[in-house]
Chain A
Amino acid sequence: MLDNASLPDPDHAVVIRSLGKQFGEKVAVNGINLTIPAGSFYGVVGPNGAGKTTAMSMMTGLLRPDHGQVWVHGLNMWETPIEAKGILGVLVDGAVAFPRLTGAQLVTYSGLLRGMDADVVAERVPDLMRVMDLEESANKMVADYSAGMTKKVSLAAAMIHSPKVLILDEPFEAVDPVSSARIRNILNDYVQSGGTVMISSHVMDLVERMCDHVAVIDKGEVLASGPMADVTGAQSLEDRFVGMVSSDESGEGLSWFHT
């Protein structure tokens, strides 16, 4: 535990201190520290099973950590969860959000659950559906959406209350290039105006292009974090990442695969 004197600077969007979680024998997240400056576009990269989703679940109130703390703009997620969640927008990877609601209903529901004024919600929903290119499907059930459309409508549901910080787990998976570009523009504008975005992704290129900060996670540890240029140095993020994460020589290849 940290005493009051060392409470994090509320100007930082998210501060994580010695955050850890163990499932049985497996240490999923091993006491990590991260500081996400306000107004940054922060990318989290790591191989499958590195602990990205576990860490993000603990940052967003979905999974109680074994130890450690998370502050969102100075609000402690695990001591004052309702206040901390109020300024956070979250996209949970793999969650099926009420597929029997229509897209417009789901986004409205998300706004109302946050206690927003009903008129404000009603005003914002068509805007969100428009920028997500879901206008035509707004009144169709989410059950009938494609994977990419489901992702977009969940993203809209995470943005309806204009949060200070967006935590998005794999936001671009299955999203078509046109929508993806549009979402990137929206997120960039949002960061320009002072918002903070944290995304996780497997696509190094995308993270390198979009983000100004990056953290590399593997086996529950933060291998490197900070401004993009500091982490990558002269290399590309992909080369830097592969260099850090892979240690074995299993890349020998399949000799029989060459024609």
Chain B
Amino acid sequence: MVSHLIRLRYRLMWNGFRRSTGAIIGAIFSTLGYLYLIAMAYFAAIGIVMLSPENISYAQRGAPFVLLGAVFVIGWVVGPIVFSSTSPFTDAKNFLTFGIPNKQLVPGVVIGGLIAPTGIGTFTLLLTGAVLWGWNPAAILAGIIAAVLGTVICVLLMQVIVGLLTNVVSRRAVRDTIQIVLLVPLMLSGFIFFGAIETIQEFWGILPDIAAWVAYTPAGFLALPVMVAQGQWGMAAVHLVVMLAYVIALLVAYNAIVNRTTEAAGTVKERQREVTGTGLIGRADTPMKAIWARSLMFWIKDPRYSASLLIIVVLIGIGIVQLVVMDNDEMSFIAKIIPIAVAYLLGFSISADLSYDSTGFSLHVTTGVRGIDDRLGRVFALLTWGLPVLLVLIVGMLYGTNTLDELPTWLGLGIGVLLTGLAVSSVSSARYIYPAPPPGASPMAQPEGGMGRTMIVQTLGMLAQMIAALPVIVPAVIALITGSPVWGIVTLMVGVLYGAGLLWAGVKIGGKWYDRALPETYQAIVKVSALY
């Protein structure tokens, strides 16, 4: 049975490749990237070995290494939740009808997870722990044990936490929130990475203390070879026992989840707070206003939209940090450019609207909605909250940097970028559909194939937005370089008038395209929604 489950895993992967060349190309690139990462890790490890223990002590090389293990655990747990890229093996429900006893299912899924590409990759990287100590047989052996234990813990922890989320947490709102909140560290991972490097340099001294604290958590499995290399045999023995205890505890927990899934199949009910009445939609009285109301509601209700809201919140957060922490003139430009970046993203954000509607868009097709109503409704929904947010943001950032005299320039630039961006999106989204997560999927869910199309449409759309905004960008740049108030006023006028004009044209043209190619657009939506 165990071997069946493992073979099934590879068979599924192979069939995925047969279904689309995009998946193969994606797999090749990620494999190459991963091999590169592994090679670099081993080079680094060997490099450290070359240095004598006097230059860099075992405690010093051990501490970042232990923390690396913790990063892996986080990756294993956060990844599947955020990307919803859970393999069929993560949900015991899929095996329900086969009546496989737990005694075989649990080891099958766990061993299968170890032998899957992600498991092997993790194991290979963790195995650097056997290299770090030069020729030290005991430490090498400890490194191998730690790598095996670590991979097992990663796989089990992932199964337990994802299992908990899908089968035990019954409130949709809670699941949505967890998923979105976990997105934040991922979006900020770049900042965290560089921040971490800086912090490591600063806190080099206390790093061993942190590592010592992490060592006895489930994420501290890589501490074993560090202890052995330093000859701390007693501590190493205790550590090994603790780690084995974690594995057993996780196995028990996973077993319980599988049991619960089997016994409670179909009885875990969605609990949901009910709203009364029909909300905003009940207040609409024309097709355009109905679409406006519906789109506006979805910015809050649908996690796929709230996720893009979150990106904007994170950007604003970075701007505020720049203002408060790095209080100098060079940095103030970053704070001021952030609202413009937000405007740009807001303009882009409605370009996937039709893909987000997914097959629900058939309602717009069969009810005979006019293109202009569809386009206008979606644009107004975004402007309803987007424009006030943008204005407040611009004024706030300028106030924070004491440059309110530049207000007309930045207002003109921000409004211009937002309106022209919406104009481009209104045209492009009426005809060019790219894969986007369907309703109910994770905001970060990836399609099987179709990435090429996404990248082409998105890149061209963003380029077009840039070009459309040039007539506002040029006077803004002149105003900022010369500091001339006249050019500031010119920027403001161009931003508002040209922006509004282009938006009107974009909505008109987009509406026409929409009407002309409606059935083709719908079929394109059906096609991309099948990619998930």
Chain A residues within CB distance 8 Å of chain B: 60-64, 81-82, 85-86, 88, 90, 92, 94-102, 104-105, 108-110, 112-115, 117-118, 122, 125, 139-141, 143-144, 157-158
| Cα A87 to Cα B278 with chains together (Å) | 25
Chain B nearest CB from A65 CB (Å) reads 9
* Cβ A115 vs Cβ B287 within 8 A: yes
**Residue contact B286 to A139, C-beta cutoff 8 Å:** no
Which chain A positions have C-beta within 8 A of B439? 96, 98-100, 143
Is the CB–CB distance between B359 and A143 below 8 Å?
no
Known: A100-B298, A100-B301. A113 touches B369 (CB 8 A): yes
* Inter-chain contact A113/B519, CB cutoff 8 Å: no
Interchain residue pairs with CB less than 8 A apart (13): A61-B519, A62-B366, A81-B368, A85-B368, A98-B360, A100-B297, A100-B302, A105-B278, A113-B291, A113-B363, A113-B367, A115-B286, A157-B363
- What residues of chain B lie closer than 8 Å to A139, measured between beta carbons? 274-277
Assuming the contacts A139-B276, A143-B439, asked whether A97 and B363 have C-beta atoms less than 8 A apart, the reply is: yes
Q: Which residue of B lies closest to A98 (CB)?
A: B360
Interface of chain B residues 254 through 286 with chain A (CB within 8 A): 270, 272, 274-279, 281-282, 284-286
Residue in B172, B290, B362, B370 whose CB lies within 8 Å of A109? B290
B357: chain A residues within 8 A (beta carbon): 98
* Cα distance, A105 to B282, chains bound together (Å): 7
Binding site for A on B (CB under 8 A): 172, 270, 272, 274-279, 281-282, 284-287, 289-291, 294, 297-298, 301-302, 357-360, 362-370, 438-440, 518-520, 522-523
- Which residues of chain B are near A143, meaning CB under 8 Å? 172, 439-440
A101 to B439, CA, bound (A): 11
CB distance from B431 to the nearest CB of A (A): 14
Q: Which of B284, B289, B519 contacts A63 (CB 8 A)?
A: B519
B362: chain A residues at CB < 8 Å are 62, 90, 92, 95, 97
Residues of A within 8 A of B523 (CB): 62-63
Please tell me which one of the listed residues B285, B286, B367 contacts residue A85 in the complex, with CB atoms under 8 A apart: B367
Q: When the two chains form their complex, are residues B366 and A109 in contact, meaning their CB atoms are under 8 A apart?
A: no
Q: How far is the CB of B435 from chain A (nearest CB, A)?
A: 16
Q: Give Cα distance in the complex from A249 to B514, angstroms.
A: 49
Cα-based distance from A110 to B368 in the complex (angstroms): 11
Known contacts A105-B278, A109-B281; A96 and B360 CB within 8 A of each other:
yes
Count chain B CB atoms within 10 A of each CB in A105, A125, A140, A141 and give the residue with the most.
Answer: A105
State the CA gap A26–B39 with chains docked (Å).
49
Taken together as a complex, chains A and B put the C-alpha atoms of A114 and B365 apart, in Å, by 11
Instruction: Name the distance in Å between A103's Cβ and chain B's nearest Cβ.
Output: 10
User: Is A109 touching B368 in the complex (CB atoms < 8 A)?
Assistant: no
Distance between B343 CB and nearest chain A CB, rounded to angstroms: 26
Given A85-B367, A100-B297, 18 other A-B residues pairs in contact with their CB atoms under 8 A: A61-B519, A82-B368, A85-B366, A88-B366, A92-B366, A98-B360, A100-B298, A100-B301, A104-B278, A109-B363, A112-B284, A112-B286, A114-B287, A115-B286, A143-B172, A143-B440, A144-B270, A157-B363
Give the chain B neighbours of A117 by CB distance below 8 A: 285
Known: A99-B440, A113-B291. A108 touches B172 (CB 8 A): no
Bound complex: CA A139 to CA B368 (Å): 26
Point out the residue from A60, A94, A98, A115 that lies within 8 Å of B366, measured CB to CB: A60
A-B pairs, 4 with minimum CB distance: A85-B368, A112-B290, A95-B359, A118-B285
Question: In the complex, what residue of chain B is closest to A99 when comparing beta carbons?
Answer: B439
By DSSP majority rule, is chain B's interface helix, strand, loop, or mixed?
helix
Determine if A61 and B366 form an interchain contact, defined as CB atoms under 8 angstroms apart. Answer: yes
Q: A98-B357, A98-B363, A112-B290 are in contact. Are A125 and B278 (CB under 8 A)?
A: yes
Complex CA–CA separation, A61 to B289 (angstroms)? 23
> CB distance B365 to A62 under 8 Å?
yes
- Tell me which of A94, A97, A105 contacts B281 (CB under 8 A): A105
Given contacts A61-B519, A95-B360, A96-B438, contact A105 B279 (CB under 8 A): yes
**Is the beta-carbon distance between A82 and B281 smaller than 8 angstroms?**
no
Which residue of chain B has its CB nearest to the CB of A114?
B367
Residues of A within 8 A of B363 (CB): 95, 97-98, 109-110, 113, 157
Contact A110 B367 (CB under 8 A): yes
With A62-B519, A114-B368, A139-B276: A144-B284 Cβ-Cβ less than 8 Å: no
B358–A96 CB distance below 8 A: yes
> Residues of B contacting A101 with CB < 8 Å?
281, 294, 297
Residues from chain A with Cβ under 8 Å of B277 in the complex: 104, 139
By CB atoms of chain A within 10 A, which of B285, B359, B363 has the most? B363
Q: Which residue of A lies closest to B370 (CB)?
A: A82
In the bound complex, residues from chain B placing their C-beta under 8 Å from that of A96 are 358-360, 438-440
Judge whether A61 and B518 touch: CB under 8 Å: yes
Contacts of B291 in A (CB 8 A): 113
Give Cα A101 to B519, complex, Å: 24
Q: How far is the CA of A151 from the CA of B413 in the complex (A)?
A: 48
What chain B residues lie within 8 Å of A85 (beta carbons)? 366-368
Q: Specify which chain A residues have a CB less than 8 angstroms from the CB of B520 in the assembled complex.
A: 64
CA distance A123 to B28 in the complex (A): 58
Q: Check if B519 sits within 8 Å of A108, measured CB to CB.
A: no
CA distance A115 to B281 in the complex (A): 13
In the complex, chain B residues whose CB is within 8 Å of the CB of A112: 281, 284-287, 289-290
Q: What residues of chain B lie closer than 8 Å to A140, measured between beta carbons?
A: 272, 274
The answer to whether B438 and A113 have CB atoms under 8 Å apart is no
A residues less than 8 Å from B282 (CB atoms): 105, 108, 118, 122
Chain A residues lying within 8 Å of B298, measured Cβ to Cβ, are: 100
Do residues A102 and B286 form an inter-chain contact, with CB atoms below 8 A? Answer: no
Tell me the nearest residue of chain A to B373, going by C-beta: A113
**A118-B284 in contact given A82-B368, A90-B366 (Cβ < 8 Å):** yes
A104–B276 Cα gap in the complex (Å)?
A: 10
> In whole angstroms, what is the CA distance A81 to B179 when docked?
42
Instruction: Give chain B residues whose Cβ lies under 8 Å from the Cβ of A115.
Output: 286-287
Complex Cα–Cα for A62 and B520 (A): 8
| Residue among B275, B291, B294 with max Cβ neighbours from chain A (10 Å) | B294
Residues from chain A with a CB closer than 8 A to the CB of B369 are 113
Contacts of B290 in A (CB 8 A): 108-109, 112-113
**Cβ–Cβ < 8 Å partners of B359 in chain A:** 92, 94-97
A233 to B401, CA, bound (A): 87
Query: A145 to chain B: closest CB distance in Å?
Result: 10
A60–B522 Cα gap in the complex (Å)?
12
Docked CA distance A125–B483 (Å): 59
